[in-house]
Amino acid sequence: MAKLTFLWHLHQPQYRTADGRVHAPWVLLHAAGEYLTLAHSLAESGLAGQVLNLTPVFLDQLAAYRDGTAHDPLFDALRKPARDLGPDAVRELLRWAFLLHPNQLRSWPRLAELAARASGGTGEEVARRFTVQDLNDIQVLLVLAYAGPNLRWEADLADLAARGSGFPESARRRAVTWLGGCPARLLDAYRGLAGSEGVEIATSPWAHPIIPLLIDTRVVKDSWAPHPAPAAPAFAAPDDASEHIRAGLAVAREFGFAPVGCWPPEGSVSEAAVALYGDHAVRWLATDEGILAASLGRSLSGETGVGPELFGSWRLPRGGPALFFRHRGLSDFIGFQASRFPKEEDAAKEFVGHLRHMASHLPADAGIVVALDGENPWTSYPEGGAGFLTTLARELGQSAQLRPVTLAQRLDETPRTLPRLHPGSWIGGTFGTWIGHPEKNRAWELLARVRALGGSRGGRSWLAAEGSDWWWWFGDDNPTLLAPLYDELFRAHLRDACTAARVSPPAELAAPVRAAATRLRVPLSRTWPPPVLDGKTTSYFEWTVATWIEAPGTYRRVARVALRAEPGKLWLRVDPRPGAGAPVPLVVTMVTTGHPIGWTLPADRPDACAVERFFEAHLPLPQDEVLLGIECGGERMPSDGLWRLEFLEVDES
Note whether 225 and 349 are same-domain residues: yes
Residue ranges in the chain modelled with pLDDT below 50: 594, 596
* Nearest of 236, 234, 285, 240 to residue 264 by alpha carbon: 285
**What is the Cα–Cα distance from 518 to 6, expressed in whole angstroms?**
45
Note whether 219 and 307 are same-domain residues: yes
Residue finishing a domain among 381, 397, 431:
431
Residue finishing a domain among 414, 431, 448:
431
Is residue 191 included in any domain, yes or no? yes
Listing DSSP states for 148-198 in one string gives: GGGTTT-HHHHHHHHH-S---HHHHHHHHHHHHHHHHHHHHHHHHHHTSTT
Note whether 467 and 417 are same-domain residues: no
Note whether 350 and 260 are same-domain residues: yes
Q: Which helix (H) or strand (E) holds 61?
A: helix 56-67
Is residue 153 included in any domain, yes or no? no
CATH number of the domain enclosing 605: 2.60.40
* Nearest of 252, 256, 317 to residue 282 by alpha carbon: 252
CATH number of the domain enclosing 254: 3.20.110.10
Note whether 565 and 490 are same-domain residues: no
Rounded to the nearest 5°, which phi and psi values hold at 362? Answer: -110, 150
Q: What is the pLDDT of residue 594?
A: 40
**Amino acid identity at 334:** I
**What is the Cα–Cα distance from 480 to 473, expressed in whole angstroms?**
7
Is residue 102 included in any domain, yes or no? no
Is residue 545 included in any domain, yes or no? yes
**What is the Cα–Cα distance from 253 to 247, expressed in whole angstroms?**
10
Alpha carbon separation from 57 to 186, 192, 269, 438, 623 (Å, rounded): 15, 20, 20, 27, 40
Q: Which helix (H) or strand (E) holds 564?
A: strand 558-566
Is residue 167 included in any domain, yes or no? no
Residue finishing a domain among 510, 536, 561:
510
Structural domain harbouring 59: 1-72+184-431
Q: What is the pLDDT of residue 57?
A: 98
Note whether 478 and 532 are same-domain residues: no
Domain count, the chain: 3
Is residue 110 included in any domain, yes or no? no
Helix (H, G, I), strand (E, B) or coil at 262: strand
Tell me the pairing of strands 50-54 and 2-10.
parallel
Q: Are 251 and 60 in contact (CB under 8 A)?
A: yes
Q: What is the pLDDT of residue 593?
A: 56
Is residue 578 included in any domain, yes or no? yes
Note whether 454 and 581 are same-domain residues: no
Is residue 138 included in any domain, yes or no? no
Note whether 531 and 397 are same-domain residues: no
Q: What is the pLDDT of residue 156?
A: 87
* Nearest of 176, 185, 181, 184 to residue 75 by alpha carbon: 176
Note whether 389 and 468 are same-domain residues: no
**What is the Cα–Cα distance from 97 to 144, expressed in whole angstroms?**
11
Note whether 227 and 338 are same-domain residues: yes
Alpha carbon separation from 227 to 206, 208, 220 (Å, rounded): 32, 27, 11
Note whether 427 and 442 are same-domain residues: no
Q: What is the pLDDT of residue 513?
A: 83
The model's pLDDT over 105-159, given as tens digits with 9 standing for 90+, comes to 999 999 999 999 998 766 678 899 999 999 999 999 999 999 999 999 999 899 9
Note whether 408 and 533 are same-domain residues: no
